[in-house]
Structure 1
Amino acid sequence: MLNEFSKYIFAGIVNTAFTLISILLLTYIGCNIYIANGFGYALGIIASFIINSCLTFESEISFRKGTKFLIVCLMSYCINITVIKCILKYLDPGGVYMAQVLGCMFYTITGFVLNKYWTFK
């Protein structure tokens, strides 16, 4: 499982770079910043699904798995936002950076566990 988690983290780093480059390139060629951001994230999710299918979980790509992957992304994001809100409300109202870091950690762990045991099982 540690090897898979390491691959998942690596896939996340590659995907983050791909998403950011896509957003910046679209912005550079004149796309509206919000459209560039939306398309960049969409491309990033597609890239993440492909990378995690092939590298992390060594699983065949299918529409069903893609749908599950999108659901996991949404669930992970909701947990991320919940963690951030709870930290800012109950623990440290000024700790925005700590809240973001912990939110990202929960997002990553949630995404890995749900993808491993549900999307790509």
Structure 2
Amino acid sequence: MAPWSKLGPSLRYVLVGGVNTFVGLSVIVFCIGWVAMPPIAANAFGYAAGLFVSFLLNRCFIFRSNVPIASVAGRFFIIMLIAYCVNVFVLFSATAWLGFGDYIAQILGVASYLIAGFLDNSLFVFKEGE
């Protein structure tokens, strides 16, 4: 049995977030440095790569779901879009309405993204019994 299999889903979710970040940033650096892609396009490719890896790892590693990919992929991407919108709302609220500094607001935004993504994936995408 692998050592990470004893970790709960929430800790595995955080680990997968680190992997996604590494993959996304690696693709961005590659696209900018080696392909000479504009930063916005490189960011889109990096985000897409991280999201793809996130889907696979969420399905297999975090939630250990046997649900067919075709039946959950759409829900996953919608949920992650919603989580991103929550992130942006929290970031905007923290800076514009609550007066927090940029770094604190980013931390709050990322935390809200992680929580929303985990809860929504566990409740609506990879829920048990499906």
Q: What is the TM-score normalised by the length of structure 1?
A: 0.91
Quote the RMSD (CA, aligned, Å): 1.4
2:123 pairs with 1:107: no
Cα offset for 1:33?
Answer: 2.2
Amino acid at match of 1:91: L
Match for 1:46 among 19, 34, 52?
52
Query: 2:93, 2:40 → 1: CA distance?
Result: 28
2:58 pairs with 1:55: no
Determine which structure has the larger helix proportion and give its number: 1
Cα offset for 1:91?
Answer: 1.6
Q: 1:42 aligns to what SS in structure 2?
A: helix
Identical-pair percentage: 35
2:21 pairs with 1:16: yes
Count residues with an aligned counterpart: 119
Structure 2 residue runs without a partner (length 5+): 1-6
Query: 1:16, 1:86 → 2: CA distance?
Result: 24
Query: 1:84, 1:28 → 2: CA distance?
Result: 29
Query: 1:55, 1:62 → 2: CA distance?
Result: 14
Cα offset for 1:73?
Answer: 0.9
2:73 matched residue in structure 1: 66
Query: 2:121, 2:97 → 1: CA distance?
Result: 30
